[in-house]
Amino acid sequence: MPEAVSYEQIPGGQDVKPSASSRCGLLCCAACVIILVVILVLIWPAVWWQLTESNPPKNLRPKLVSFFEIENLTANMPPAPSNYPDVLRGYIWMDQAGYYGASQVPSASPDLVLSFGDPLHPLDTTTRSIRVNTTGPCWSWANNARAYLHVATDRASNFTYKFMWDESFSSAVIYSCTSTNGHESCRLNHGNGLLQLKLLIIRQSPAKDMCPPAPRATKADRASCAKFVRVTRLLFPGTSWTIPFLQFNYYVFQIAGDDGTPVEPYFTAYVDFAKSQCQPAAASAQGYGINCEGECLKNSSAFIAVRPGQ
């Protein structure tokens, strides 16, 4: 009985017919699986970032959002106390998008600047741990619909980052913490499902003769002047071991001192970036219980998810 076989048509070529040598043996099959896994590992971060942004939470009303002029950031966020180690001082901008420095992050969150000055979460000097609350007074967001969604999500799960510094405060492992009904859990793994991510922040020692970078410096040269590199490593599923050689970096620049004095050229880069991300979306904001009026409607605004002093 003749077999019904359909052959793939190659444009301008001949029909492709299976031959004995093209049949997939065990070895070939193993190669396919390995290639598939590698592709998954490479594209999954992008997919994951998309996924985490497409599930709007319900019943969220972060009403305390406060908008301010992008250039007036430091007047609206408390600095770290002056007795903290130097590494925790000042205002730092997370250039995930690689707007100024280099970045390997496939999709940037709408985060802007943080400080370690939240009075609710002081530095624990015994464990060298400190929390940063993304819906607290020391974390700022670009003014756009994606940020409103992030804020609503983070507020709903009582989300904070916990930085665990090493003895010399030269690097920290970052945990993500959530709490429901008073029960808190902190995780080393920031991914979900297949993709397991470990986040680190590592202090750099910028070369004095190369920094601050010249106006026409490459992104790589600018990156070497950043205060920190933020490293995302992939974990072997179910373990705390990282997969060698697979990591995504972006750079974190100090844009102002504790007293609000801008550190240039990074401050200007942050201002330009924040303006490029500012897309007030009043209707979307309303959906999250955020009143977008006044300062929010200006094309030069950013926000924190709480009123100053709260």
Ligand X SMILES: *[C@@H]1O[C@H](CO)[C@@H](O)[C@H](O)[C@H]1NC(C)=O
Amino acid symbol at 121:
H
Exposure string over 131-166, b if 16+ CB within 10 A, otherwise e: bbbbbbbbbbbbbbbbbbbbbbbbbbeebbbbbbbe
Kindly tell me which of 128 and 298 has the beta carbon lying closer to ligand X: 298
Binding span for ligand X by CB under 6 A among 11-19, 70-78, 102-110, 220-228: 70-78
286 binds ligand X (CB under 6 A): no
Closer by beta carbon to ligand X, 50 or else 310: 310
Q: Which is nearer to ligand X, 158 or 268 (CB)?
A: 158
Q: Does 170 bind ligand X (CB under 6 A)?
A: no
Choose among 165, 153, 43, 49: nearest CA to 97. 49
Nearer CB in complex with ligand X: 159/169: 159
279 makes contact with ligand X (CB under 6 A): no
75 touches ligand X (CB under 6 A):
yes
* Residue 160 found at the interface with ligand X (CB under 6 A): yes
Q: Whose Cβ is closer to ligand X: residue 168's or residue 179's?
A: 179
State how far the alpha carbon of 253 is from the alpha carbons of 179, 199, 200, in Å. 30, 17, 15
Q: How far is the CB of 298 from ligand X (least distance, A)?
A: 7
Are 266 and 99 a contacting pair, CB within 8 Å? no
**265 in Cβ contact with 129 (< 8 Å):** no
**Identified binder of ligand X from the candidate list 158, 189, 242, 279, rule CB under 6 A:** 158
CB neighbour list of residue 229: distance below 8 Å, 6 or more residues apart: 201, 202, 204, 223, 249, 250, 251, 252
Nearest residue to 247 via CA among 31, 23, 27, 42: 42
The single residue among 19, 54, 55, 181 that binds ligand X, judged by CB under 6 A, is: 181
Applying CB under 6 A, which part among 35-43, 109-117, 129-137, 227-235 lies near ligand X? 129-137
Judged by CB, which is closer to ligand X: 45, or 62? Answer: 62
> CA 96, CA 107: separation in Å to the nearest integer?
8
Is residue 179 at the binding interface for ligand X, with CB under 6 A as the rule? yes
Our finding on whether 72 is near ligand X (CB under 6 A) is yes
Roughly how many angstroms between the first and final C-alpha of the chain, as a whole number? Answer: 80
Residue 185, interface with ligand X (CB under 6 A)? Answer: no
Taking CB under 6 A as the criterion, the residue among 48, 67, 68, 141 binding ligand X is 68
What region, left, alpha or beta, does residue 128 occupy, with left being phi > 0 and alpha being psi -120 to 50 degrees?
left
Size of the site for ligand X (CB under 6 A): 18
CB of 272 to ligand X, least distance (A): 11
Contact 150, 134 (CB under 8 A): yes
Gap between the Cα atoms of 57 and 287, Å rounded: 11
Q: Which of 47, 49, 52, 76 binds ligand X (CB under 6 A)?
A: 76
Q: Does 261 bind ligand X (CB under 6 A)?
A: no
List residues near ligand X by CB under 6 A: 68-69, 72, 75-76, 120, 133, 135-136, 156, 158, 160, 179-181, 299, 306, 310
